[in-house]
Chain A
Amino acid sequence: MSTTENTTKAALPAMTHTVGMPRHQKIIFVVLLAVLIALPFMVYPVFAMKVLCFALFACAFNLLLGFGGLLSFGHAAYFGMASYVCAHAAKVWGLTPELAILTGTATAAVLGLVIGSLAIRRQGIYFAMVTLAFAQMVYFFALQAEFTGGEDGIQSVPRNDLFGLLPMKDDLTFYFFVLAITYGGILFIYRITHSPFGQVLKSIRENEPRAVSLGYHVNRYKLMVFVLSATFAGLAGATKSQVFHLASLTDVHWTMSGEVVLMTLLGGMGTVLGPIVGAAIVVTMQNYLAYLGAWVTVIQGCIFVIGVLLFREGIIGVLSRILKKPL
């Protein structure tokens, strides 16, 4: 039996990369799911949900930066706007959680389409600046508009019954709904990066003029990945507002755009697990060091500087290099 297997392996040396998700990644995803199912029984469920939302947010950002090669400095716009619209939909229109989240996510997608179609005309630092400028405009809108509640935000957002049937008031119950959304979202992002579209995306990131010379209209691919990234960022933001019963200016502030960059780089840009690990670290730090007040930001800054200086590829990036396996 083992001889046959060896012969096959020898005959097809490195064909493994074409047969879908590598085995070790399948194991990682299963282990991850098991850990996440157990998590709310070990820590406070709301904290666990916060980690999940930020993990999805960072994965969405990583889709754009790590695979599209585009550094957006305005991802808070999609995260925050989706959070506002979702909160409004649940509170004022009385929508059920799944519909409210969907409404918020759709808003982020449309916003991503508008901002993205203008931003992708520029490259590098100019692209980053355009995204930042638009995000600042969105922030200003959130500050001034009637429905966002200005400085107060939208408070005591109700969590209506899921599908109009299942009560979601209990945090532990709601956790599993959030887990389904975020885990599903992360898997979907994995699929995007490992799809025919994802291959083209990588080629554009590697060598844009060459992709053009092969006949690819590269801006269409960039716009598509931009919209996809904004959509998943929106999904994370919308879900977050249901978790905390709150949408506020924090979600749409430029520091939120910065935080997601930090999470992604700390964990490892362009890796599958990096953004999840990065998000978990940053959120945990903010949570458990909260008693230090403003010092959290200083500590966060120090960890980021140390992280970037010591391992530029991020925690998972370094692990991946040592283990010689894509993680």
Chain B
Amino acid sequence: MAIGMSAMLQASGLTKEFKGFVAVNNVDLTVERGTIHALIGPNGAGKTTCFNLLTKFLQPTRGTITYDGRDITSLSAADIARLGLVRSFQISAVFDDLTVLENVRIAMQRRRGDSYDFWRSEVLLAQYDDEARGYVESVGLGDFLNHRAAELSYGRKRALEIATTLALEPDMLLLDEPMAGMAQADVDRISALIKRISEGRTILMVEHNLSVVANLSDRITVLARGEVLAEGDYDTVSKSPEVIDAYIGAGHD
């Protein structure tokens, strides 16, 4: 890894307690600018909780989060998205009843700020069509522009979700199990897509499966029982006896 990188997203002492149960305990995490960072761990390790804390869909009990040098601990989820830190969801998050093009336009509308105009015609939104089409085509959905999102296959919904996210021109993406429930062909396609969009961006992804992140991520943090177990590149992490014990020993390859 290159020397002189700066932290894009940093969490320190991040803790979340649910009525006495500590889901995430004192986690320190630093995601360097321009890298793909993976957060992995067995079921119940606190990955998703951690992820929801970082994106402010949950409020941490203790700890601070800084993004691009700015303390974002007290901001709302929507405000964080406005700063350029955009998350995806485990179950593909598209707007089913809208077309592919409209899905992407929703993201662009937020950026341009005409989203409160209830007295104007939606014909106005056609001004976004060319640019939106560009994002749709960049994820290989050019042929589905006017299909309802509900009609797409699971892998294509994932691609649409990424196109919508890209339309926000985010600096950093947080992907929650982007490969969950996908066929192998789709996994390869989405892996290549993630690799491509990481150009000039920072990515933090939660994954269940070590092998998926092996050739994708620059750095891996392993969580178990709410705590950081190991951190480093794939070789370091996969050889760590604690990780083998807690994670691979638990029945995963």
> Could you list which residues of chain A lie within 8 angstroms of chain B, going by C-beta atoms?
13-15, 17-20, 191-192, 194-200, 202-203, 205-207, 209-218, 220-221, 224, 228
Tell me if A217 and B94 are in contact (CB < 8 A). Answer: no
A224 smallest CB distance to B (angstroms): 7
**Which A residues lie within 8 Å of B93 (CB)?**
207, 209-210, 213
In the assembled complex, the Cα of A107 lies from the Cα of B55 at a distance in Å of 40
Contact call B121/A194, Cβ cutoff below 8 A: yes
Q: Chain B contacts of A217 at CB under 8 A?
A: 76, 78
Are A196 and B78 in contact, with the CB atoms below 8 A? no
**Residue in contact with A206 in the complex, picked from B78, B95, B116, B129, CB distance below 8 Å:** B95
- B98 touches which of A195, A203, A209 (Cβ 8 Å): A203
Residues in B whose Cβ lies below 8 Å from that of A212:
57, 77-78, 81
Binds A, one of B29-37, B101-109, B223-231: B101-109
**Across the two chains, which residue of chain A brings its CB closest to B101?**
A18
B195 at the interface (CB under 8 A from A): no
With A205-B97, A210-B94, A213-B77 already in contact, 13 other A-B pairs whose C-beta atoms are closer than 8 Å? A20-B122, A195-B122, A196-B117, A196-B120, A197-B116, A200-B110, A207-B96, A212-B78, A212-B81, A214-B86, A214-B164, A215-B81, A217-B78
| Chain B count of residues within 8 A CB distance of the other chain | 45
Interface residue ranges, B against A (CB under 8 Å): 55, 57, 76-79, 81-82, 86-89, 93-99, 101-103, 105-107, 109-110, 114-126, 129, 145-146, 164, 168
- By a CB distance below 8 angstroms, the chain B residues around A218 are 78
Give chain B nearest CB distance to A18 CB in angstroms.
5
Q: Are B109 and A199 in contact (CB under 8 A)?
A: yes
Residues of A within 8 A of B110 (CB): 200, 214-216
Give the 5 A-B residue pairs with the shortest CB-CB distance, closest first.
Answer: A14-B146, A215-B81, A210-B93, A197-B118, A206-B95
For B168, give the chain A residue with the smallest CB separation.
A214
Q: How far is the CB of A254 from chain B (nearest CB, A)?
A: 29
Question: Can you list 11 A-B contacts with CB-CB less than 8 angstroms, sorted by A residue number?
Answer: A13-B145, A14-B145, A18-B122, A202-B97, A205-B97, A206-B97, A209-B93, A212-B57, A212-B77, A214-B107, A218-B78
**A210-B89, A214-B110 known; A199 and B102 CB under 8 Å?**
yes
State the CA gap A210–B82 with chains docked (Å).
13
| Residue among A195, A216, A228 making CB contact with B117, cutoff 8 Å | A195
- Chain A nearest CB from B158 CB (Å) reads 13
Minimum distance in angstroms from B120 CB to a CB of chain A: 5
Note all chain B residues with C-beta closer than 8 A to A224.
Answer: 116, 118
Nearest CB of A to B119, in Å: 7
Determine the chain B residues whose CB is within 8 A of the CB of A18 once the complex forms.
Answer: 101, 122-123, 125-126, 129
Question: What separation, in Å, do the CA atoms of A210 and B165 have in the docked complex?
Answer: 10
Contact at B98–A206, with CB atoms within 8 Å? Answer: yes
How far is the CB of A275 from the nearest CB of chain B, in Å? 18
* Given A13-B146, A210-B89, A214-B164, A199:B78 Cβ within 8 A: no
Contact of B119 among A195, A200, A206, A210 (CB under 8 A): A195
Q: How far is the CA of A207 from the CA of B99 in the complex (A)?
A: 14
Which of B96, B103, B107, B118 has its CB near the most chain A CB atoms (within 10 A)? B118
Q: How far is the CA of A195 from the CA of B114 in the complex (A)?
A: 10
How far, in whole Å, are A195 and B55 apart by their CA atoms in the complex? 30
Given contacts A209-B89, A213-B89, contact A196 B95 (CB under 8 A): no
B86 and A200: CB pair below 8 A? no
Q: Is the CB of A228 within 8 A of B94?
A: no
List residues of chain A with CB within 8 A of the CB of B129. Answer: 18
Which of chain A's residues has its CB closest to B105's CB?
A199
Q: Complex Cα distance A17/B147, Å?
A: 11
Q: Give A192 to B116 CA distance when docked, in angstroms.
A: 10
Residues of B within 8 A of A206 (CB): 95-98
A202 and B89 within 8 A (CB): no
